[in-house]
Amino acid sequence: MNIFDGDNLGESKVPEFEGNPVLKTNRFMKEWFAQDKQFTLFDVGCYDGHDSADYIHGLGLDRSRVFSFEADPRIAEYYREGHAKLIEEGKMNLVEAAISNVDGELTWYASDVIEGTDSWGNRAAPSGTHKYPRGHMEHHKHIAFTERKVQSMKLDTWFSQQDFDLVDFMHVDVNGGEQEFIEGACDTLNNHTKFLWMEFMTKTGHWDKAEPGVEMLTNFDHHDSVGFNQLWINRTL
C-alpha cells in the first residue's frame, strides 16, 4: 500500500494518529519528514519503484536518497526504465537482490505478467516471492508461477558494507517473507533504523510457512496498523 494516498492534508501538524488510518499515517510522516535534513530511505521489495519515487516527489525530499531492493530482473528493468533521471541524480539507487536470511542463491517463485493496471492504477507487472505461493495460486488461479534462482543477501551483510550508519525510514513489502527478512536484518533494524513501515501478509494463507517474526524487533514499538501494513518506531534512536 502507498502511504501517500490522499495527499491533500493542508498545513496542519498532527502528532497523534486521528481520523482515516491511511491519512493519519501520512500526516505523521509528513510532519517528521518536514525537517531540513537529508534522509536515507530503504524500499525493500520495491516492485517497479513507484513507492521509491513517491518518497522523493510526494514528500518533497529532493535532497534525500532512496535505496530500492528488488529480486526479479524483469521488474528491475521497469524500475530503470521508469526512473532514469532520478537514478542519474543519485536519488534512487537500485540493488538487484532478494533480501532474506540467506547470502547466496535462493529459489524464487516468479509470477507471469498480468496485462493492464493493478488496483492502485499502477502498471501491472510480474511479481514474486521466495515463499512457495500455494495459497496464492488457490486464490488467484489465473496467475502462474515459475521457479527460478535469484541472488539473495541479508540486509545486515549489505548494510555493513556501506559508508553510512542510519536509515531514517524503511518500507518493506516481501510477500510473506517477513520472518526471513527480519532474521537477516536484525542489526540494521534494531540499531540503525528509526521508522519501519512493513506489510505483514502472513495471515492471508497465500504463502507456505509464512511467519511475522515481530518478536525480533526488540528495539521497536508498534505504533499503528493500516490494513496489512504496520508502522514501527525505534525507541532507541
Instruction: Please tell me the predicted confidence (pLDDT) of residue 62.
Output: 80
Instruction: Please state, in angstroms and rounded to a whole number, the distance separating the CA atoms of residues 160 and 110.
Output: 29
What structural domains does the chain harbor?
36-105+153-234 (3.40.50.150)
CA 168, CA 73: separation in Å to the nearest integer? 27
Residue 45's pLDDT is what? 93
Angle between helices 50-57 and 73-82 (to 10 degrees): 30
What pTM was computed for the model?
0.82
What pLDDT does 10 receive?
A: 33
Q: What does pLDDT average to in each consecutive run of 10 residues of the chain (237 residues)?
A: 37 38 60 82 92 83 91 89 94 96 89 56 62 64 78 97 96 89 97 93 55 88 83 93
Query: Measured between alpha carbons, how far is 84 from 89 in angstroms, rounded to an integer?
Result: 9
SS3 at position 41: strand
All cell numbers assigned to 79: 524500475
**Separation CA 181–CA 62 (nearest Å):** 29
